[in-house]
Structure 1
Amino acid sequence: MQNTSFKALQISENTEKQYIRNIIQRQVSDLPSGEVLIKIHYSTLNYKDALSSIGNKGVTRNYPHTPGIDAAGIVEQSDSPDFKIGDEVIVTSYDLGMNTSGGLAEYIRVPARWVVPMPAGLSMREAMIFGTAGFTAGLCINALINNGLSPEKGKVLVTGSTGGVGTLSIAILKKLGFEITAVTGKPNAIEFLTKTGASEIVTREALDDQSGRPMLKSIYAGVVDTVGGNILATALKSLNYGGAAAACGLVASPELHTSVFPFILRGNTLFGIDSAECPMPLRKEIWHKLASDWKPSDLESLATEISLEDVPQKLDLILKGGALGKFLIKL
């Protein structure tokens, strides 16, 4: 098995500090140590993968490197009593694809504590249509529902709505019966967002309040925020009494300038969502929900299937903000 060769995307740094993408042949023996060797059947693309592909040291420190923070496949070797050869499994988050050889390849080897057994009701393909983005969306929605959010409480705002987390959040919320307002800066995304499940679409500018007022009109019962910055601040000021926001991203800005008024006058809550180091019991709970009651009936329509050879071009599209929905990689 150690002499088995496989196909992988490799990002390498040249002498001019440029980052080059190539599909290469690697050996299983080149993979890092770990208890579980997995043959990958499907992966997917994320913004972190795109950042890794351009040398972002906050994501990946050392090159050459194979990115890919998501993988679903079959166990080929296992030194763990929790997994046996032939098991279908999911690996997302932790250090996969960041500083550990990732899922944009035909094999990974990882610690057993990173591996989630495939829940009943979910295929490997469906697991990667969700991927880290869907898992993160699930964590956000879970936090809001546990705070008391329900469809009769009012509308839910989803920012960054054409990205992976935004798209899957809309689809899951639609399945659960919520009315959804989607925020986008892409005029060409209206049809896509409406089909996905948004009942209202507002522009990015509409959620970028510059008035300086500490509070705005109450509009939303809950918020799934993927962008941060002033859009999150505006959303917080627009929550209903007892509402909550779940923050999981910072593509607009890591800064948050607001006041305590939404929290002490309307009893609002801001949840911070981390999918990378999420404890395994909660991780399994969310995957179980995604595999059952929370699985959208039109899940397949949210993804475009591509090959590993298509990945370099799609990474550029993600970096330019031009992607709609998910890219599913069949390996």
Structure 2
Amino acid sequence: MSIAAAFPAFRIHNDATGYRAGIEDMRVDALSPGEVLVKVAYSSVNYKDALAGTGKGKILRQFPLNGGIDVAGYVAASTDPAFKEGDQVLCTGCGLSETRDGGYAEYARLESKWTIPLPAGLTLRESMALGTAGFTAALSLFQMVRNGQTPEMGPIVVTGATGGVGSLAIDILTRAGFEAHAITGKVEQFDWLIGLGAKQCIARKELYWGQRPLETARWAGAIDNVGGDMLAGLTRVIRPYGSIASCGLAASADLATTVMPFIIRGLSLLGVASAGTARPIREQVWERLASDWKPVHLATIVNREVALAELPGIFDTMLAGGSLGRTVVKPG
């Protein structure tokens, strides 16, 4: 496979001239070190990418770096015999756009220990339609199931339901045999969420959790992307021995609650750290996403495909709360 002498990358700087991001040319030998050089076919946009690309969140731990916490493509060269030229691979999290160059470029160099062969049942584009958002949603359910959650216990409610993680969680839950409910501030998208499999939609502004440490239990479990008051409220209304998978903080990183739900109802609060998930679990989750947990509405959930030059506008829309579903990035 021929390798371009120079290629465009969406690169993020923070130096004496300030925080800035944009497209610039770079060479392969300037990429972060790693055993596997990938010709990038697709990446995606996650909330974390928007924070990193605008400087509104402290995501990058060194500068400059290419943005994009997801990448999928073809092996262009490898010093690890486990990967050969032309292999289709993916990587999500694992330091991308934090401590090493990410997927917003025509090439990315990956560490082989975090490079995942594309599972049978997924295309490269589908893997990035899922990306970190889909992996996080599936990892949330994976952790809940490991903790004893079953469909027979009752419905699972998803917060931030119109976002990437939320919309994919509804589809994945339904595929796995669970009844999914949705909480969102975008009441105009109720029909869209029902089309993804949600059996009930609740407007965020109509929620009233009550003031007692324990209120009437409404759901068997939850996947929460929001944090703050939303997560605190959920702890009061989950049925005995249910689980809440905490995977986001779109509203707040704070959590003000009591121990009562944990010692009276046996509630489990499960942390979902998708970026640093151990490889054996990572492989299991991707295999599920390529088979029995593969969402059936990916074409609906992915509502746009963009080039690198369009990223700043996508970031602004996402941070303003205007995004819906998933955005796939095609660097080439």
TM-score, length basis structure 1 = 0.94
How far apart are the structure 1 equivalents of 2:183 and 2:164? 14
Aligned to 1:278: 277
Give the secondary-structure state (helix, strand or coil) at the position aligned to 2:65. coil
The answer on 1:32 being equivalent to 2:63 is no
Structure 2 unaligned runs (5+)? none
Gaps of 5+ in 1: none
CA distance in 1, matches of 2:88, 2:247: 28
Matching residue of 2:175: 175
Whole-angstrom CA distance in 2 between matches of 1:237 and 1:221: 12
Q: CA deviation at 1:37?
A: 0.5
Partner Cα distance (1:144, 1:315) in 2: 31
Query: Do the aligned partners of 2:75 and 2:87 also contact (CA within 8 Å) in 1?
Result: yes
Distance (Å, rounded) in 2 between the aligned partners of 1:123 and 1:253: 35
How many percent of aligned residue pairs carry the same amino acid? 43
- 1:207–1:234: 8 Å Cα contact kept in structure 2? no
Verify the 8 A CA contact 1:154 1:221 in the aligned structure 2. Answer: yes
> Aligned partners of 1:94 and 1:62: how far apart in 2?
15
- Quote how far apart the aligned CAs of 1:13 are: 4.8
1:231-246 matches, cutoff 5 A: 231-246=230-245
Determine the C-alpha separation between the residues in 2 that align with 1:208 and 1:109: 48
Q: Does 1:230 align with 2:224?
A: no
Deviations 1:159-215 (A, max 9, x none): 111111111101101212322211111233222212222121112234463x43100
2:316 aligns with: 316
Using the TM superposition, give the Cα deviation of residue 54 of structure 1 relative to its aligned residue in structure 2, in angstroms: 1.9
For residues 127-138 of structure 1, what are the structure 2 equivalents within 5 Å? 127-138=127-138
Aligned partner of residue 201 in structure 2, secondary structure: strand
Shift of 1:35: 0.8
Paired residues, what number? 329
1:224-272 deviations in Å (ceiling 9; x for gaps): 0111111111111111111111101112111111111111111211111
Note if contact 1:126-1:300 (Cα within 8 Å) is conserved in structure 2: no
SS in 1 for 2:71: strand
Q: Which residue of the partner structure matches residue 152 of structure 1? A: 152
Which residue identity does 1:272 align to in structure 2?
G
SS of the residue corresponding to residue 293 of structure 1 reads coil
Change beyond 3 A, Cα 1:203–1:12 = same
Distance 1:249 1:296 in 2: 20
Return the offset for 1:296.
1.8
Rounded to whole Å, the distance in 1 between the matches of 2:74 and 2:274 is 22
**Corresponding letter in the other structure for 2:23:** I
Which whole-Å CA distance do the structure 2 matches of 1:100 and 1:288 have between them? Answer: 26
SS of match in other structure, 1:40? strand
Distance change in 2, residues 1:302/1:57 (3 Å):
closer
Query: More deviation in 105-114 or 197-206?
Result: 197-206
What's the CA shift for 1:287?
0.1
Report the residue type matching 1:65 in the other structure: L
Tell me what 2:262 maps to.
263
Which position in structure 2 is the counterpart of 1:68?
Answer: 68
TM-score, normalized by length of structure 2?
A: 0.94
Computed over aligned residues only, the root mean square deviation of the Cα atoms, in angstroms, reads 1.8
